[in-house]
Structures are given as structure tokens and as C-alpha cells.
Structure 1
Amino acid sequence: MADAAEKSAGRPRPEFRNIHVTQIVGYRLPLAGIVSILHRVSGALMFLVGLPFVLYLFQQSLVSEISFESYRAIVSHWFAKLVLLALAWAYLHHLCAGIRYLFLDMHVGVEKAASRSSAAAVLAVSLTLTLLVALKIFGVF
């Protein structure tokens, strides 16, 4: 016990400081941290915006022919298309990141290099799929 105290007495203790709110923008997260935060954001977006919006659209599409035309008018508006695109990104990113976390829970890819590459793969796959959905929503194909 005394040996540990003597060893630590020669070195200064590391100083950890809290990050102030104004320093958050300049703080550089690792790629896995960005994927983790986006996973939480996408889950919140789907729950708080997606669920009410999709249920409202589903109701409008089923009540009658007049309400279905109202549904078509809503969905054809550019802002509704952007909301649907954001919800599609949230779903696709949450799905891809969730699969990544399932593998991490099975202790597959927990090393630093593998974790970084799987985080990059999540971002690449979710953004690529979102681009394909955007092309479909905005009528390119």
C-alpha cells in the first residue's frame, strides 16, 4: 500500500475538467460516439414526430375517398416530403445502428479499429439508403 502511494507521489495527478456548453461545438467525438448520438436522436425523432405523423396519414388514407384525397394532397407537398425523408433517415439509421449494437453486444467488433469501421459502415449504408428513398420520394425514379 505504501509502495503505491510512493509511486503516485512523484507524478502529478491527471486533471479532468468538465466541458462548458460553449466548448461543445469544438469537441471532437470519435465516429462511434457520433453514431451513438445519432442513434438516440433518430429514436426520439421516430417516437415524437414519426409516430403521430404516420398515424395521422394512415387515418387520412383509410376513412373515406375524400380523406384519401386529403392524404394525397398532404403527401404531395414539399414540406411533407422533407418530413417523410427525415423519418426515413431516422428509421434507416436506427435500424443500421441497432444491428451494429447487437453485434457489439455479442462481442463482435469491439476492438477500436473494427468499431470505427462498423460506425463508418452504419453512416455510409444509412445515408446511401436514405438517398435512394429521397430519389423515390421526390419522383426521380
Structure 2
Amino acid sequence: MSEVTVRKQRPKHLALNEIRLPIPGIVSILHRVSGAGLFLMLPLLLSLFGNSVGSPESFAAYKETVSNPLVKIILFGLLWAYLHHFCAGIRFLLLDMHKGLDLPTARLTSKIVLGVSIVLTVIIGVKLW
């Protein structure tokens, strides 16, 4: 008897739009993206902080810069990135302590991280806007 092996046709390219990540995977990727975004925006944040505490003239320039709607949207995004990175970091610390490793708990904590980060962003963003 001869056995015939049939090989499955593999795709030639990776279709990223067809990949369906579970919620814990999405939270993990957003955690990395938010960390990278915060790191890359650090010079902007430091210059804004320097302008806000330098002198009364630089504070006036800071207020004028921050009152621009485009800058407010960027700062709103950075606020979300910080809050998401913080909340997801707490989740990952708990995972490192072997808390919440089972699938239902991991999915629940991922949903909690997304919800809490969005709610905190809206609350703080509305107060600061």
C-alpha cells in the first residue's frame, strides 16, 4: 500500500484583515502600541511641560498651543495611551503572579481594561477639555 500525502495549499501572503484576534490579544497589542507611542511622544510632552513652567511668556505660548483643537485631540490620544498602558500593565502584573490565567478570566480582565481605560479617558478628557 502506498500512502499519498496531500499537502495543504499555503497562502503566499498573510491577509492581516482576515486575522481575528481574541480580546486578550488586542489588549496586548494595544499595550505595546501605547507604550511605543508614549515613548515616541516624550519629546513633545517634555517641551510642553518646559513651556508650561518656564516663564509667564512661555506659559502664554503653552496655553495658545494647547488651545488648538488638533493639539487637544493629540493630547486626548496620549491620555488614552497612558491610561490604557497603565491599566493593561496592572493586568499583566497580575498575570505574572499567575492570577487570571484561565480563558474566561483573561477575557473578562481584557474587557475590563478596555472599558476602564476608555471611561477614565472620557472622564479626565472632559474635565481637561
Structure 1 and Structure 2 fold alike (TM over 0.5): yes
Q: TM-score, normalised by structure 1?
A: 0.81
Answering whether residue 59 of structure 2 is matched by residue 29 of structure 1, we say no
Q: CA deviation at 1:64?
A: 1.6
Q: Which runs of 5+ in 2 are unaligned?
A: none
Q: Verify: 1:68 aligned to 2:68, yes or no.
A: no
Report the TM-score, using the length of structure 2 for normalisation.
Answer: 0.89
Question: Which of residues 75, 100, 112 is equivalent to 2:103?
Answer: 112
Using the alignment, how far apart are the partners of 1:101 and 1:55 within structure 2?
Answer: 27
Tell me how far 1:62 sits from its aligned partner: 2.2
Q: Report % sequence identity.
A: 47
Runs of 4+ in 1 over 2 A off after TM superposition: 12-21
- CA deviations over 1:72-93 (Å, ceiling 9, x no partner): 1011111111111111000000
The aligned counterpart of 1:89 is: 80
Provide the rounded CA distance (Å) in 2 between the counterparts of 1:20 and 1:85.
Answer: 36
What is the count of residue pairs matched by the alignment?
126
Contact 1:81-1:137 within 8 A present in 2 as well: no
Aligned partners of 1:46 and 1:91 also within 8 Å: yes
How large is the Cα RMSD of the aligned pairs?
2.1
Unaligned runs of 5+ in 1: 1-9
Compared with structure 1, are the counterparts of its residues 87 and 16 closer, same or farther at alpha carbon in structure 2 (3 Å cutoff)? farther
Counterpart residue number, 2:47: 56
Counterpart amino acid of 1:20? H
1:45 alignment counterpart: 37
